Chains A and B, each alone.
Chain A
Amino acid sequence: MSVIVILLVLVVLIVVVGAVLAFMYNGLVKLRNKVENAWAQIDVQLKRRHDLIPNLVETVKGYASHEKETLERVVQARNMAMSAQGPEQQGQAENMITGALKSVFALSEAYPDLKANQNFVNLQEELTSTEDRISYSRQFYNDTVNRYNTKIQTFPGVFIAKRFRFGEREYFEAEGAARGPVQVQF
């Protein structure tokens, strides 16, 4: 009789502990996928910027044709970013785009017609908000990494993380002033 009771208690205990472990494991996997997704979102926003650049170049060309050098730098930086191998190279190229865009928007100061062009105004709004989105998606990535890393370093997640090899993720870090946003002059 008492043996059956003890056995029952044991079975219930095992089931409960197993359920808790499975629940925690699933939570960690979910969070890890969130980190990956957040990283992919940054690329989505970078691609959006790449897509907008040809339009910008076309629009500016019509008004400031002898500013070829500035425009070429944007195109060149974009091509470099699109063909970059590895995150480090891409990071450098993206910084170049940011810098080159800065000088294109500074250009518009000297060309009132360009500044008044509706297409240019729209593109400027799009590029400014894409710039915002790039930094916001990086911010969200870092926030997610922070949550994930905290979870796998603290009790009780640390045990599951150790057993199933959930590794820490690295933060996205901006290096120097080159990673700042475009200063749009109005």
Chain B
Amino acid sequence: MYDQVAQNKRRSLLLIAFFVALVAAVAWAITQLLSFGPIGFAIALVVAGGSAAVSYWKSDAVALAMSRAKPADPQTYARLHNLVEGLCIASGLPKPRVYVVDDDAPNAFATGRDPRHAAIAVTTGLLAKLNRVELEGVVAHELSHIKNYDILVSTLAVTMVGVIALVSDFGIRFLWWGGGRRNSDDRNGGGAGSILAIAGFALLILSPIIAKAMQLAISRRREQLADFSGVEMTRYPPGLISALEKLRSDQTVVHSGSRATAHLWIEQPIARTEREGRLSRLNRLWDTHPPLEDRIAALREL
């Protein structure tokens, strides 16, 4: 179990490294393709940096507002508060802010940038449908996201996807309007130059798609990791297993779930389409979470 956690952490780091490499590649493509690259690129970087800063400081407020979460009253939601406090004692974390989303679909998420600035939110459906032990399993899963800094990783991932999309969009637009300049910019000379140009152009078009797929891969890894370290907290796998089974059999869809925040929740909040055959593997690329069956099976093996 501990090995699996370490392995997952390594893989996530690798994915982040890929992200950085992709940003660098896009930057390279733009300077290759545009003669006036540096200035435009600098503007793009400033804009990207600004949005990154905002998302770092305000990501939790945005996520909570988007899902219409309200602070959980300590009296009304005594059980929830008690479970959060107990598990924080077990893991040595400061107690995060606790929120409730008024929604019949059972689901939960954690957000923030570090354990001191974190919040967890659960839906009223989750509180109604799960018993104490199951709820504890889910809360432990969310606290693991906080403890493992997944909340920061997913914030960074979202930001990096945004940066790549922004910069490549910028590049493509400049190419479109300033296309004529490429001919006069013939320093590389002949065939090699045009091959590089084509490669750069392809990279600009493909990079947002690659970035999105990577963000989702990170998200799927992190979900699995949080399942394991959540169980490490409660020392009771059956709690989370039976909670996930209830989530699986429940067909209600979170109303306030959007694609933008999908990766935050414990279960994918968007309705799954049944998929069969050859395309199903490809479709999985766009899932934020591994299939519940796989997660349950992995927990059973502990």
Flag whether B86 is at the interface (Cβ < 8 A).
yes
State the Cβ distance, A87 to closest chain B Cβ, in Å: 20
A139-B235 in contact given A122-B78, A125-B78 (Cβ < 8 Å): yes
Flag whether A144 is at the interface (Cβ < 8 A).
yes
CA distance A60 to B89 in the complex (A): 30
A139-B78 in contact given A129-B83, A133-B85 (Cβ < 8 Å): no
Flag whether A149 is at the interface (Cβ < 8 A).
no
CA distance A63 to B152 in the complex (A): 52
CA distance A41 to B92 in the complex (A): 11
Q: Which residue of the partner chain, among B83, B89, B132, B136, contacts A137 with CB atoms under 8 Å?
A: B89
State the Cβ distance, B11 to closest chain A Cβ, in Å: 24
By a CB distance below 8 angstroms, the chain B residues around A133 are 85-86, 89
Flag whether A136 is at the interface (Cβ < 8 A).
yes
Q: Which residue of the partner chain, among A45, A129, A140, contacts B91 with CB atoms under 8 Å?
A: A140
Count of residues in A whose CB is under 8 Å from the partner chain: 16
Majority secondary structure of chain A interface residues (helix, strand, loop or mixed): helix
Q: Which residue of the partner chain, among A38, A122, A132, A143, contacts B86 with CB atoms under 8 Å?
A: A132
Nearest neighbor of A34 in chain B, beta-carbon distance: B92
Q: Is the CB of A139 within 8 A of B82?
A: no
Flag whether B87 is at the interface (Cβ < 8 A).
yes
- Among A129, A140, A144, which residue has the most Cβ atoms of chain B within 10 A? A129
CA distance A133 to B88 in the complex (A): 9
Flag whether A126 is at the interface (Cβ < 8 A).
yes
Q: Is the CB of B90 within 8 A of A129?
A: no
Q: Is the CB of B78 within 8 A of A140?
A: no
By a CB distance below 8 angstroms, the chain A residues around B132 are 128
By a CB distance below 8 angstroms, the chain A residues around B87 are 136
Flag whether B79 is at the interface (Cβ < 8 A).
yes
CA distance A128 to B135 in the complex (A): 14
State the Cβ distance, B237 to closest chain A Cβ, in Å: 15
Q: Which residue of the partner chain, among B82, B90, B91, B235, contacts A125 with CB atoms under 8 Å?
A: B82
Majority secondary structure of chain B interface residues (helix, strand, loop or mixed): helix
By a CB distance below 8 angstroms, the chain A residues around B89 are 41, 45, 133, 136-137, 140
Nearest neighbor of B90 in chain A, beta-carbon distance: A136
Mark contacts of B68-89 with chain A using CB atoms, 8 A cut-off: 1 yes-contact digit, 0 otherwise: 0000000000110011011101
Q: How large is the interface on B (under 10, 10 to 19, 20 to 34, 35 or more residues)?
A: 10 to 19
Q: Which residue of the partner chain, among B82, B90, B136, contacts A140 with CB atoms under 8 Å?
A: B90
State the Cβ distance, B298 to closest chain A Cβ, in Å: 23
Q: Is the CB of A140 within 8 A of B85?
A: no
CA distance A38 to B92 in the complex (A): 9
Nearest neighbor of B79 in chain A, beta-carbon distance: A125
Q: Is the CB of B82 within 8 A of A126?
A: yes
Q: Which residue of the partner chain, among B79, B83, B85, B90, contacts A139 with CB atoms under 8 Å?
A: B90
CA distance A45 to B85 in the complex (A): 12
- Among A122, A136, A144, which residue has the most Cβ atoms of chain B within 10 A? A136
By a CB distance below 8 angstroms, the chain A residues around B90 are 136-137, 139-140
Nearest neighbor of A41 in chain B, beta-carbon distance: B89
Residues facing B in A124-154 (CB within 8 A) are 125-126, 128-129, 132-133, 136-137, 139-140, 143-144
By a CB distance below 8 angstroms, the chain A residues around B78 are 122, 125-126
CA distance A120 to B196 in the complex (A): 75
By a CB distance below 8 angstroms, the chain B residues around A144 are 92
CA distance A183 to B79 in the complex (A): 17
Mark contacts of A110-129 with chain B using CB atoms, 8 A cut-off: 1 yes-contact digit, 0 otherwise: 00000000000010011011
- Among B89, B90, B91, which residue has the most Cβ atoms of chain A within 10 A? B89
CA distance A136 to B85 in the complex (A): 10
Residues facing B in A30-50 (CB within 8 A) are 38, 41, 45
CA distance A130 to B92 in the complex (A): 16
A136-B86 in contact given A122-B78, A125-B79 (Cβ < 8 Å): yes
Q: Is the CB of A129 within 8 A of B92?
A: no
Given contacts A125-B79, A133-B89, list 11 more A-B pairs with CB under 8 A.
A41-B89, A45-B89, A125-B82, A128-B132, A132-B83, A133-B86, A136-B86, A139-B90, A140-B89, A140-B91, A144-B92
What is the interface of chain B, defined by CB distance below 8 A to chain A?
78-79, 82-83, 85-87, 89-92, 132, 136, 235
Sample of 14 A–B contacts (CB below 8 Å) = A45-B89, A122-B78, A126-B82, A129-B82, A129-B85, A129-B86, A132-B82, A132-B83, A136-B86, A136-B87, A136-B89, A137-B89, A140-B89, A143-B92
